[in-house]
Chains A and B, each alone.
Chain A
């Protein structure tokens, strides 16, 4: 194993905590494990990728001792959150958590006006577009509101606040949880759910993933914050704008609304610095309309964050929480046809 690979393996070993938290210790190499490694090495020399091998044990969990390794037995222990890590979606069982040791809450991108920027958001493999689009909307309306939600403790943990209703008819209250920077990852090592934002000077921006994780922490599970599950388990969800700002948001159905009115509501919200999101209708039973909508980057049962309105041209641009495939120059008529509501925060 070359030095680089060895360092990466050591790093990964110390990062992998699984769902139970804590640092994994490096297992000793027995005969059968050595044999397995040799077989894997032989397979690699025949051109087989690591990802294509069936491992009894992942090779990154092993490393070979070298001269001097026994001289320094100290290990750096980063504090971890007290609560168990939230469960993953059932279909993602087996994915691991990894500590983003280079993580920080906010990083100002090269062309960004603020460290918190709407372009930081990137939805992952979780159906929580309502949350990610809401984060983009609040970031666009007032970046400082997002900054106030997260306190970086400087030790790999963060105090993250959300505004939660104690019950359906109660006013949202600020509830703070301490989470660490361990995030579920894909095989590529990238976050499985919300992605990271900017990267500068060796720092990776995590605010989106931290807020998503904190909400999952409130429900003990990422699966329970996915789309239709957010209201389950006695959790009183009344909109992402409220969740992030504590202010009651207004809900406008587009049924019966004309396109001019819809665009005007959005334009006023953007002008006044209020967070605004819009969700699409369910077009499941209409394949032709689905294709027509998809062709304009409008996907049904999806939430977006309006970016700008051109009242003269009667068009609207909307940010897709994927971080790509944004909607551009959508006519007011098509907006009414595809979108079922507008949510405006206070």
Chain B
């Protein structure tokens, strides 16, 4: 079926460049401090950015800028503290923390990438 579609594509393009299959774009979301983000339709508030220890997926601990994510089902205790490299699961989908921004002034933020 796909071969047929690519063939139709070639015809539609005439003598244009060779077809290039679509590229998967990484899904990245950013949540500001004390606001509510949206991870695949799930409301996920972010608490505060601070400094401290957090756990990586391999179980090791690291020290750095961290923030609390209030993930549905894990609200107890004010949320989960995460830092760069942490992986959290939200409604069955895993998200990797790319960075926690901890500015001296203004709101901090966290950037997360959806994992396949």
Contact = CB atoms under 8 A, between A and B. Distances in A.
Interface string A28-61: 0001101100111111011010011110000000
B2 A291 contact: no
Interface residues of A, number: 52
Nearest to A289: B50
Contacts of A290: 48, 50
Interface string B61-91: 0000000101000010111010000000000
Given A123-B35, A287-B50, A301-B34, A52 B13 contact: no
A147 B68 CA distance: 36
A190 B40 CA distance: 11
Contact of A299 (B12, B30, B34, B43): B34
A227 interface: yes
Nearest to B6: A42
Nearest to A125: B35
A45 B2 contact: yes
Contacts of B21: 39, 42-43
A305 to B, nearest CB: 15
A324 B37 CA distance: 13
Q: For the complex, would chain A's binding face be called helix, strand, loop or mixed by DSSP majority?
A: loop
B25 interface: yes
B87 to A, nearest CB: 18
A53 B47 CA distance: 31
A127 B107 CA distance: 8
Contacts, number: 132
A316 interface: no
Interface in A218-233: 227-228
Contact of A322 (B1, B45, B68): B45
Interface in A105-125: 122-125
Interface in B8-58: 8-9, 12-14, 16, 19, 21-25, 27, 30-38, 40-41, 43, 45, 47-48, 50-52
A167 to B, nearest CB: 27
A126 interface: yes
B19 to A, nearest CB: 7
Contacts of B25: 52-54
A283 interface: yes
Contact of B2 (A42, A52, A91, A324): A42
Among A53, A228, A300, A325, the most chain B Cβ lie within 10 Å of the Cβ of A325
B106 interface: yes
A295 B24 CA distance: 38
A324 B70 contact: yes
Interface in A47-81: 48, 51-54
B31 A125 contact: yes
A195 B71 CA distance: 18
Interface of A: 31-32, 34-35, 38-43, 45-46, 48, 51-54, 91, 122-127, 129, 186-188, 190, 192, 195, 227-228, 283-284, 287, 290-291, 293-302, 322-325
Interface of B: 1-2, 5-6, 8-9, 12-14, 16, 19, 21-25, 27, 30-38, 40-41, 43, 45, 47-48, 50-52, 68, 70, 75, 77-79, 81, 106-107
Given A52-B25, A294-B79, A301-B107, 18 more contacts: A35-B8, A38-B6, A39-B6, A42-B2, A42-B6, A54-B25, A91-B30, A123-B35, A125-B35, A195-B43, A284-B48, A290-B50, A291-B52, A294-B48, A297-B78, A299-B34, A302-B34, A323-B43
11 contacts: A43-B21, A52-B24, A127-B34, A190-B38, A227-B107, A294-B77, A294-B78, A295-B77, A300-B48, A324-B75, A325-B70
